[in-house]
Amino acid sequence: DSTCAITVDYDELVEGQDDECAAEYTITRTWTITDCVGNVRTHTQVITIEDTVAPTFNEALPLDMTVECNMVPDASILTATDSCDPNIEVVFEETITNDENCAVGYTVTRTWTATDCAGNSTEHTQVITIEPTGPIMSQPYEEEITIICGDEIPEAPEMTFTGGCGNFEVVFNEETQQADDSDDYMIIRSWNVTDSCGNTALFEQIIFVLQPQLQEITINICIEEEPIDLLNYLPADFDRNGTFMILEGDVVLEENIFDPMNHEPGEYKIAYSSTEGTCKYYVDFTVIVDTECVPCGRGDIIISKAVTANGDGVNDYFEITGVEYCAFSFDVIIFNRWGTKVAEVKDYQNDWGGESPNGSFGQSGMLPTGTYYYIITATDIETGTILEPFNGYIYLGTN
């Protein structure tokens, strides 16, 4: 009936939604029509809402990269949005291999995960590769040095290190080690290096300090030269506080002074040593005293003018002097004033004091006081040269 009033009722029911966030929920809508006589008709609509869309990240996503050691960037902070969930939480995770050891290389894997309340999630992964830097290395340096004791000891090198993980901690040490069977020794320098990853390396420099070798020094000196100081003949770097020891010959040393006038021509051996300090110094001296500076001409020969054989130590013998250090041999013949030979000596040694042959003249085997005549023949032994003979008169006093 067109005049009958109609009423419409509407009802809406939401099911499966928890705080407006669910993976799926339904909305049921019901319309009810009632006329004036009580006839009823209904219509129902069911709407199913499903959340299958994951959140999306808002920022530019960090890319994979390869970087040098200690150059790993900080992790990016990412946020996300979702059509159904206004409060999206982003979970960040990071894993690192090889204990972050740059020497062997490692990777950093970073993962960001955004999940909505419906359980839909999206994930982004960034892989950072740190290539290996290798073991700890040093710049080139002299690992072994050999010097002679007394030389200047080289300064320790300024060491720089590479490789490893950087941020090096260096412990330097220097010690001296003696050799077991000699006076040589070693200076050992060591650098113990630790990097920020705990890698370690040891670098050493060894300085071998050898004792100076025995020096053999030969000195030629003429018997008439000035005394010499043996210390002046030591090598410049030798210690001069040592001691001398006679090895060969009748050597007369006044502390370290050698006077050739106190020695016969010949060869003398003297040892020097200084062993009180770290360095040990040894020298063997050979001192050759010669007569090269001594004049040996005929005019250098001096012959006695008188012999007073009275035992007072003055002019007791007929002497040929002035060439004691020359290679001369003298043959002497002495005559009395009547020309009779009273003495003849081959290789004369300055030992005739007026004795008569067989005691035939004077008293007690002595020739009488008077003037005698001599003839001396001198021969150079080295060349065999016979010099022009010497002759002259000598006074003999025997009373």
State the DSSP code for 198: S
Looking at residue 62, the DSSP 8-state letter turns out to be P
93 or 86, higher pLDDT:
93
Global pTM value: 0.58
Any idea which fold 215-290 has?
A: Immunoglobulin-like (2.60.40)
Q: What is the spatial distance between Cα 75 and Cα 109, in angstroms, rounded to a whole number?
A: 10
Query: What pLDDT is stored for residue 297 in this prediction?
Result: 87
pLDDT digits (tens, 9 = 90+) for 258-315: 999 999 999 999 999 998 888 999 999 999 999 888 888 889 999 999 999 888 888 9
- Its sign, for the CA torsion 305, 310, 311, 314, is negative
Burial profile 304-320: b = 16 or more Cβ within 10 angstroms, e = fewer: beebbbeeeeebeebeb
Spatial neighbors of 43 by CB under 8 A, at least 6 apart, are 30, 31
Kindly state the average pLDDT of the residues 100-117.
94
pLDDT digits (tens, 9 = 90+) for 333-343: 999 999 999 99
CATH class of 137-210: mainly beta
d(C-alpha 321, C-alpha 91), whole Å: 122
- For the segment 141-169, the average pLDDT, to the nearest whole number, is 94
Residue type, 25: Y
The CATH number assigned to the domain with range 300-397 reads 2.60.40
Q: Do residues 169 and 149 touch, judged by C-beta distance below 8 A?
A: no
Q: Which two tokens stand for residue 312?
A: 């007072």
- Mean pLDDT (the chain) is 90
56-130 in CATH: which number? 2.60.40.10
More confident residue, 355 or 259: 259
For 253-262, the CB contacts below 8 A with 24+ separation are 256/229, 256/230, 256/231, 257/227, 257/228, 257/229, 257/230, 258/221, 258/227, 258/228, 258/230, 258/287, 259/227, 260/221, 260/222, 260/223, 260/224, 260/225, 260/227, 260/228, 260/289, 261/223, 261/224, 261/227
Q: Is the pLDDT of residue 112 over 50?
A: yes
CA distance 259 to 289: 10
Percentage of residues of the chain with pLDDT beyond 70: 95
pLDDT of the residue at 361: 45
- Report CA dihedral (97, 100, 103, 107) to the nearest 10 degrees: 40
Backbone angles phi, psi at 44, to 5 degrees: -120, 135
pLDDT tier at 360, thresholds 50, 70, 90: very low
Residue 77 has pLDDT above 50, yes or no: yes
Q: Helix, strand, or coil here: 13?
A: strand
Closest listed residue to residue 395, CA positions, set 300, 301, 303, 312: 303
Instruction: Identify the CA nearest to 54 among candidates 99, 109, 5, 119.
Output: 119
d(CA 221, CA 294): 11
Beta-carbon contacts of residue 236 (< 8 Å; ≥ 6 apart): none
Which pLDDT score is estimated for 64?
Answer: 97
Q: Give pLDDT, residue 3.
A: 67
**287, 250 Cβ separation under 8 angstroms:** no
For residue 190, give both structure tokens: 């060591």
pLDDT given at position 276: 87
